Structure 1
Amino acid sequence: MLDGLRDYTGTILFFGIPLAAGSIVFIWRHQNLARRGVTVHALCSTTARNEKGLVTLRLLYEVDGSQYYCDSMPYQFPPIGVGQRLDVIYDAKDPSYAEVVEQRGRGRVPWFLGGIALVFLLLLGLAHL
Protein backbone atom coordinates (compact mmCIF):
# COMPACT_ATOMS: atom_id res chain seq x y z
CA MET A 1 0.00 0.00 0.00
CA LEU A 2 2.78 2.43 0.86
CA ASP A 3 5.13 1.16 -1.85
CA GLY A 4 4.06 3.99 -4.16
CA LEU A 5 5.73 6.48 -1.82
CA ARG A 6 9.12 4.93 -2.59
CA ASP A 7 9.00 6.58 -6.02
CA TYR A 8 8.88 9.98 -4.31
CA THR A 9 11.58 9.38 -1.69
CA GLY A 10 13.86 12.16 -2.93
CA THR A 11 11.07 14.72 -3.20
CA ILE A 12 9.60 13.90 0.21
CA LEU A 13 13.04 14.10 1.87
CA PHE A 14 13.97 17.29 -0.03
CA PHE A 15 10.84 19.15 1.08
CA GLY A 16 9.85 17.26 4.23
CA ILE A 17 13.02 17.54 6.31
CA PRO A 18 13.52 21.33 5.93
CA LEU A 19 9.79 21.98 6.34
CA ALA A 20 9.57 19.90 9.50
CA ALA A 21 12.77 21.39 10.94
CA GLY A 22 11.72 24.95 10.10
CA SER A 23 8.31 24.41 11.66
CA ILE A 24 9.85 23.05 14.84
CA VAL A 25 12.18 26.05 15.15
CA PHE A 26 9.37 28.51 14.47
CA ILE A 27 7.07 26.83 17.01
CA TRP A 28 9.86 26.73 19.60
CA ARG A 29 10.65 30.45 19.19
CA HIS A 30 6.94 31.37 19.22
CA GLN A 31 6.42 29.43 22.45
CA ASN A 32 9.48 31.07 24.04
CA LEU A 33 8.06 34.51 23.30
CA ALA A 34 4.71 33.48 24.77
CA ARG A 35 6.40 32.17 27.94
CA ARG A 36 9.10 34.69 28.66
CA GLY A 37 8.43 37.61 26.34
CA VAL A 38 8.74 41.18 27.54
CA THR A 39 6.70 43.93 25.88
CA VAL A 40 8.32 47.34 25.31
CA HIS A 41 7.45 50.51 23.40
CA ALA A 42 9.78 50.61 20.42
CA LEU A 43 10.61 53.73 18.42
CA CYS A 44 10.08 53.70 14.66
CA SER A 45 13.40 54.85 13.21
CA THR A 46 12.83 54.27 9.49
CA THR A 47 10.30 53.01 7.00
CA ALA A 48 10.95 51.21 3.72
CA ARG A 49 8.54 50.71 0.84
CA ASN A 50 8.91 47.63 -1.37
CA GLU A 51 8.08 47.23 -5.06
CA LYS A 52 4.46 46.30 -4.20
CA GLY A 53 4.00 49.50 -2.21
CA LEU A 54 3.97 47.77 1.18
CA VAL A 55 5.76 49.46 4.08
CA THR A 56 8.11 47.82 6.58
CA LEU A 57 8.94 49.57 9.85
CA ARG A 58 12.29 49.41 11.64
CA LEU A 59 11.57 49.59 15.36
CA LEU A 60 14.30 50.33 17.90
CA TYR A 61 14.18 49.23 21.53
CA GLU A 62 16.64 49.06 24.40
CA VAL A 63 17.33 46.24 26.85
CA ASP A 64 19.82 46.66 29.70
CA GLY A 65 21.60 49.51 27.91
CA SER A 66 21.94 47.67 24.59
CA GLN A 67 20.12 48.79 21.45
CA TYR A 68 18.18 46.27 19.33
CA TYR A 69 15.85 46.51 16.38
CA CYS A 70 12.86 44.63 15.03
CA ASP A 71 11.62 44.88 11.46
CA SER A 72 7.87 44.58 11.08
CA MET A 73 6.10 42.50 8.50
CA PRO A 74 4.92 44.62 5.57
CA TYR A 75 1.91 46.87 6.08
CA GLN A 76 -0.36 48.25 3.41
CA PHE A 77 -1.28 51.05 5.82
CA PRO A 78 1.34 51.33 8.58
CA PRO A 79 -0.14 52.22 12.00
CA ILE A 80 2.67 54.65 12.85
CA GLY A 81 5.33 56.77 11.21
CA VAL A 82 8.94 57.68 11.93
CA GLY A 83 9.37 59.00 15.48
CA GLN A 84 6.27 57.25 16.83
CA ARG A 85 6.13 54.17 19.07
CA LEU A 86 4.71 50.68 18.67
CA ASP A 87 4.80 47.72 21.06
CA VAL A 88 7.22 44.87 20.39
CA ILE A 89 7.74 41.72 22.41
CA TYR A 90 11.25 40.34 22.83
CA ASP A 91 12.63 37.13 24.30
CA ALA A 92 14.08 37.84 27.76
CA LYS A 93 16.86 35.28 27.17
CA ASP A 94 17.59 36.48 23.63
CA PRO A 95 16.67 40.19 23.35
CA SER A 96 17.69 40.27 19.69
CA TYR A 97 14.63 38.15 18.82
CA ALA A 98 11.47 40.24 18.78
CA GLU A 99 8.15 40.57 16.99
CA VAL A 100 5.62 43.37 16.66
CA VAL A 101 2.88 42.61 19.19
CA GLU A 102 -0.02 43.40 16.86
CA GLN A 103 1.44 41.15 14.15
CA ARG A 104 1.78 38.05 16.33
CA GLY A 105 -0.49 35.29 15.16
CA ARG A 106 -1.61 32.13 16.82
CA GLY A 107 1.02 30.12 15.00
CA ARG A 108 -1.28 27.48 13.51
CA VAL A 109 0.38 27.36 10.10
CA PRO A 110 3.71 25.90 11.33
CA TRP A 111 1.84 23.23 13.30
CA PHE A 112 -0.20 22.34 10.22
CA LEU A 113 2.69 22.32 7.72
CA GLY A 114 5.09 20.64 10.14
CA GLY A 115 2.48 18.01 10.92
CA ILE A 116 1.95 17.23 7.25
CA ALA A 117 5.70 17.01 6.68
CA LEU A 118 6.15 14.67 9.66
CA VAL A 119 3.28 12.43 8.51
CA PHE A 120 4.82 12.10 5.03
CA LEU A 121 8.26 11.39 6.53
CA LEU A 122 6.76 8.77 8.84
CA LEU A 123 4.84 7.12 6.00
CA LEU A 124 7.98 7.15 3.86
CA GLY A 125 9.89 5.47 6.66
CA LEU A 126 7.18 2.81 6.96
CA ALA A 127 7.25 2.29 3.18
CA HIS A 128 10.96 1.49 3.35
CA LEU A 129 10.60 -1.10 6.13
Structure 2
Amino acid sequence: MKLEGVYTYLCESCLTLFGVVSRFSVMEDRIDTLTCPKCSKKVAVCMGEGHINYTNHERREESITNETDEISQLPELLTVEHLAAYLNVSERTADEYMGNPDFPLIRLKRSKRVFRDDFLAWLQSKKE
Protein backbone atom coordinates (compact mmCIF):
# COMPACT_ATOMS: atom_id res chain seq x y z
CA MET A 1 0.00 0.00 0.00
CA LYS A 2 1.24 3.43 -0.84
CA LEU A 3 0.42 6.60 1.06
CA GLU A 4 0.72 10.00 -0.60
CA GLY A 5 -0.02 13.56 0.39
CA VAL A 6 -2.58 15.81 -1.29
CA TYR A 7 -2.39 19.59 -1.21
CA THR A 8 -5.67 21.35 -2.03
CA TYR A 9 -5.88 24.72 -3.78
CA LEU A 10 -8.88 27.02 -4.35
CA CYS A 11 -8.83 29.79 -6.91
CA GLU A 12 -10.89 32.65 -5.53
CA SER A 13 -11.27 34.25 -8.98
CA CYS A 14 -12.95 31.38 -10.82
CA LEU A 15 -13.74 29.14 -7.80
CA THR A 16 -11.76 26.23 -9.23
CA LEU A 17 -10.82 23.66 -6.60
CA PHE A 18 -7.89 21.39 -7.48
CA GLY A 19 -5.38 19.20 -5.71
CA VAL A 20 -1.80 18.15 -6.19
CA VAL A 21 -0.52 14.73 -5.13
CA SER A 22 2.96 14.60 -3.62
CA ARG A 23 5.16 12.16 -1.78
CA PHE A 24 3.81 11.74 1.73
CA SER A 25 5.69 13.55 4.49
CA VAL A 26 8.14 15.21 2.11
CA MET A 27 7.94 18.90 2.83
CA GLU A 28 10.07 19.77 -0.22
CA ASP A 29 7.16 18.67 -2.42
CA ARG A 30 4.85 21.27 -0.91
CA ILE A 31 4.32 24.29 -3.14
CA ASP A 32 2.67 27.24 -1.40
CA THR A 33 1.40 28.92 -4.57
CA LEU A 34 0.44 27.44 -7.92
CA THR A 35 -1.14 28.69 -11.11
CA CYS A 36 -4.85 27.93 -11.52
CA PRO A 37 -5.36 25.51 -14.43
CA LYS A 38 -8.52 27.37 -15.50
CA CYS A 39 -7.77 31.11 -15.25
CA SER A 40 -3.95 31.07 -14.82
CA LYS A 41 -3.96 33.23 -11.67
CA LYS A 42 -1.74 32.48 -8.67
CA VAL A 43 -3.49 30.57 -5.88
CA ALA A 44 -2.32 29.49 -2.44
CA VAL A 45 -2.76 26.25 -0.51
CA CYS A 46 -6.15 26.43 1.14
CA MET A 47 -6.71 23.21 3.05
CA GLY A 48 -3.27 22.04 4.03
CA GLU A 49 -2.25 18.46 3.61
CA GLY A 50 -4.52 15.48 3.45
CA HIS A 51 -3.61 12.00 2.34
CA ILE A 52 -4.83 9.25 0.09
CA ASN A 53 -4.24 5.53 0.33
CA TYR A 54 -4.11 3.34 -2.70
CA THR A 55 -2.80 -0.06 -3.61
CA ASN A 56 -0.84 -0.71 -6.77
CA HIS A 57 -2.41 -3.51 -8.76
CA GLU A 58 -0.04 -4.93 -11.29
CA ARG A 59 -1.48 -6.42 -14.43
CA ARG A 60 -1.45 -10.13 -13.99
CA GLU A 61 -1.71 -12.61 -16.78
CA GLU A 62 -4.48 -15.10 -16.35
CA SER A 63 -2.97 -18.24 -14.99
CA ILE A 64 -4.48 -21.41 -13.73
CA THR A 65 -3.44 -22.58 -10.32
CA ASN A 66 -3.94 -25.95 -8.70
CA GLU A 67 -6.83 -24.81 -6.51
CA THR A 68 -9.85 -27.09 -6.69
CA ASP A 69 -12.37 -24.45 -7.72
CA GLU A 70 -10.27 -23.55 -10.75
CA ILE A 71 -10.06 -27.10 -12.10
CA SER A 72 -13.50 -26.65 -13.62
CA GLN A 73 -12.20 -23.57 -15.47
CA LEU A 74 -9.71 -25.67 -17.41
CA PRO A 75 -10.77 -26.36 -21.01
CA GLU A 76 -11.64 -29.89 -22.13
CA LEU A 77 -8.39 -30.20 -24.13
CA LEU A 78 -5.28 -28.93 -22.37
CA THR A 79 -2.14 -27.56 -24.00
CA VAL A 80 1.43 -27.36 -22.71
CA GLU A 81 0.68 -23.82 -21.53
CA HIS A 82 -2.31 -25.01 -19.48
CA LEU A 83 -0.27 -27.76 -17.84
CA ALA A 84 2.61 -25.40 -17.06
CA ALA A 85 0.27 -22.86 -15.44
CA TYR A 86 -1.67 -25.51 -13.51
CA LEU A 87 1.45 -27.29 -12.23
CA ASN A 88 3.36 -24.03 -11.72
CA VAL A 89 6.30 -25.26 -13.79
CA SER A 90 7.96 -24.05 -16.97
CA GLU A 91 6.52 -24.94 -20.35
CA ARG A 92 9.64 -26.98 -21.04
CA THR A 93 9.03 -29.10 -17.93
CA ALA A 94 5.36 -29.53 -18.85
CA ASP A 95 6.43 -30.64 -22.33
CA GLU A 96 8.75 -33.21 -20.76
CA TYR A 97 5.84 -34.56 -18.67
CA MET A 98 3.84 -34.91 -21.86
CA GLY A 99 6.70 -36.97 -23.31
CA ASN A 100 6.46 -39.63 -20.58
CA PRO A 101 5.28 -43.01 -21.93
CA ASP A 102 2.45 -43.27 -19.38
CA PHE A 103 1.12 -39.76 -20.08
CA PRO A 104 -2.31 -39.79 -21.84
CA LEU A 105 -1.10 -37.68 -24.77
CA ILE A 106 -3.16 -36.89 -27.85
CA ARG A 107 -1.28 -35.75 -30.94
CA LEU A 108 -3.05 -33.53 -33.44
CA LYS A 109 -0.48 -33.25 -36.22
CA ARG A 110 2.41 -31.57 -34.36
CA SER A 111 0.29 -30.28 -31.47
CA LYS A 112 0.26 -32.02 -28.13
CA ARG A 113 -3.00 -32.11 -26.18
CA VAL A 114 -4.49 -34.04 -23.29
CA PHE A 115 -8.07 -34.37 -22.11
CA ARG A 116 -8.61 -32.61 -18.78
CA ASP A 117 -10.06 -35.70 -17.06
CA ASP A 118 -7.28 -37.96 -18.36
CA PHE A 119 -4.65 -35.48 -17.16
CA LEU A 120 -6.22 -35.28 -13.69
CA ALA A 121 -6.39 -39.09 -13.50
CA TRP A 122 -2.72 -39.30 -14.56
CA LEU A 123 -1.80 -36.69 -11.95
CA GLN A 124 -3.73 -38.61 -9.28
CA SER A 125 -1.87 -41.82 -10.22
CA LYS A 126 1.43 -40.00 -9.61
CA LYS A 127 0.28 -39.17 -6.10
CA GLU A 128 -0.03 -42.83 -5.10
**TM bracket (short chain):** under 0.3
Q: Which has the higher contact order (CA 8 A, sep 6+)?
A: 1
Higher helix share: 1
TM-score relative to the length of structure 1: 0.21
